[in-house]
Amino acid sequence: MGLCSLLFLVVGVVPLALAGGHDYGAALSKSILFFEAQRSGYLPGNQRVKWRGNSGLYDGKANGVDLVGGYYDAGDNVKFGLPMAFTVTMMSWSILEYGNQMGATGELAHAMDAVKWGTDYLIKAHPQPHVLYGEVGDGNTDHYCWQRPEDMTTSRYAYRVDQNNPGSDLAGETAAAMAAASIVFRHANPAYSRELLTHAGQLFDFADKYRGKYDSSITVAQKYYRSVSGYADELLWAAAWMYKATNNEYYLEYLGENGDALGGTGWAMTEFGWDVKYAGVQTLVAKFLMGGKAGSHAPVFGKYQEKAESFMCSCLGKSSQNVQKTPGGLIYKQRWNNLQFVTSASFLLTVYSDYLTSARRDLHCSSGPVAPAELLAFAKSQVDYILGDNPRATSYMVGYGNNYPQQVHHRGSSIVSVKVDPSFVSCRGGYATWFSRKASDPNLLTGAIVGGPDAYDNFADHRDNYEQTEPATYNNAPLLGILARLHGGQGGYNQLLPVEVHVAKPIAAQPKPNPVKETPFAAPVDIEQKPTTSWVANGKTYYRYSAIVTNKSGKTIKNLNLSVSKLYGPLWGLTKSPSGSYGFPTWVSSLPAGKSMEFVYIHAASPAQVSLSSYTLA
């Protein structure tokens, strides 16, 4: 690697270093709001995305069933059952792990509304124990047109699986969604929770008894949501969620007895998403094991956990089979909607970090033990990249930050709202007038996570660049939990204990931190340093170090001065004074109690010596 390459690497990390911290609470609010833009059916009176109108009001009529409602999966107007169910499962899991943190931001009720909008539809889609509707509309006719959902003229025929045309993956994922959601509503709406659990049990039995891939029965889905992994992972996934929802030993035994045959103990994965569920199953089963629930199945559950930890290690780059990353540090699997894999993997890293913390143990990778905090730090780095800490300084969440995608590949967002201009937009006319329009979208798709950058951190903000600018519900769903966790902290919760989602009265703001009793010997700040990446240039190994400064004093710190010695390279995120000490960057004037700030530096040596020189308490 030559000097020019080294300079490119150094410059490439500048936006990361200059980040002044993200408002995870605002990002959480926006990410939930996106689901309201994706609603199909009759919109409620409390609908907050005002540019949307009612749509799909005759869905299911041609089939003699009511399928009004649910979510459009992405930028088109089809309702695909498999990704919709996975979206509901992941939103529910987010709430179950971090619902208390959501409550502290006032967003728990909105998150639960988002889940219920999905489960209300899934109940309709399951009119009989062995019948499940898995798609309304089809991608071929839908993609031929560019219309607002309110103007749809495309086919709304519905497709189903049944005992003669099975779909174990679809039924299994829908069972998982219903089971997970039943826990969410257990205390807030007990009757609804029981209804969901009844459907979940029936769907699990249907999936297990009548086995087959759903896209062999609903062939129109193959081009868009082909079940490449088959249905074995969904059977285990559904069983895990059924056990969480019921504590019925039958499902625990199912996981123990079928782990080998269905791949749960054998597959070491490097991805998790709407198709491949193994890493999610393995994470849940590891939680059961660490929570003391495995019983006689502990040896088998230990094999699940080995594979869960293999996934975590691969994401961290500490395995023999690591995930690919962009030069900017983003997990990379494919060009088309890569961020779906980033948010899903980051969610698993986040919850597993908390599971390990609760169990008071470390992650075991081939390179050695890894502290739980390192998993959370990496998940945070992925979220921060999405929110703008990347080489392009671009936020891939629409409406967050100052530089985000303006030409989203999304029919409703890109066409003038029916509330502004109710004139009918025709099938092909939408392409001519709106799709080809080289201007910002008339409707802001707030909170949407688009497909994201390519393998080299490049991104082209063009409406026809669907691989990078199209959003999807399953991009956002796992992000809800991570954002709540990053905003609200761990809060001392033991993630291995039974879940309780408190919904009585959401608190408008977080409680103030308890004052820290200061003594003359109590350090007001904590400084934690760690290397985040390294590379070799001209025979030298260069390290990028991240330093986190946390205010432990209980009061706001002003006029901070740090001494940084044995530094042999560039530093970003602090301002150097004429005296040689380092203070706050220009965009920061104080550090509130309990808050942290980050600076980074690069040099070919061990960590610099950083210490506190002076400060004042406000």
Cα distance between residue 301 and residue 308, in whole Å: 10
Residues marked active site are found at: 76, 409, 461, 470
Total Cβ atoms within 10 A of residue 48: 13
Which region holds residue 247: left if phi is over 0, alpha if psi is between -120 and 50, else beta? left
* Nearest CA among 523, 496, 33 for reference residue 289: 496
Show the beta-strand stretches assigned E in 104-206: 131-136, 158-162
Total Cβ atoms within 10 A of residue 143: 16
3-class DSSP state of 27: helix
* Nearest CA among 326, 315, 324 for reference residue 455: 326
Contact 453, 392 (CB under 8 A): yes
* Nearest CA among 582, 613, 615 for reference residue 599: 582
Give the amino acid at 324: Q
The partner residues of 610 in beta bridges, in order of sequence, read: 564
Residues 6+ apart with CB under 8 A from 310: 268, 269, 319, 321
* Nearest CA among 409, 521, 526, 391 for reference residue 464: 409
Cα distance between residue 258 and residue 512, in whole Å: 48
Angle formed by the axes of helices 108-124 and 24-37, to 10°?
30
Contact 427, 147 (CB under 8 A): yes
Show the beta-strand stretches assigned E in 296-416: 324-325, 331-332, 363-365, 368-370
3-class DSSP state of 167: coil
Give the amino acid at 257: E
Contact 462, 329 (CB under 8 A): no
Cα distance between residue 541 and residue 37, in whole Å: 48
Contact 392, 329 (CB under 8 A): no
| Sign of torsion over alpha carbons 100, 102, 107, 112 | negative
Cα distance between residue 613 and residue 559, in whole Å: 10
Cα distance between residue 274 and residue 340, in whole Å: 9
Contact 152, 419 (CB under 8 A): no
Helix (H) or strand (E) holding 558, with range, is: strand 557-565
CA distances to 5, 71, 464 from 223, in Å:
41, 19, 19
Longest dimension (CA), the chain: 80
* Nearest CA among 224, 196, 245 for reference residue 83: 224
How, if at all, do strands 540-551 and 525-537 pair? antiparallel
Cα distance between residue 387 and residue 408, in whole Å: 16
Question: In degrees, to the nearest 5, what angle opens at C-alpha 398 toward C-alphas 226 and 324?
Answer: 50
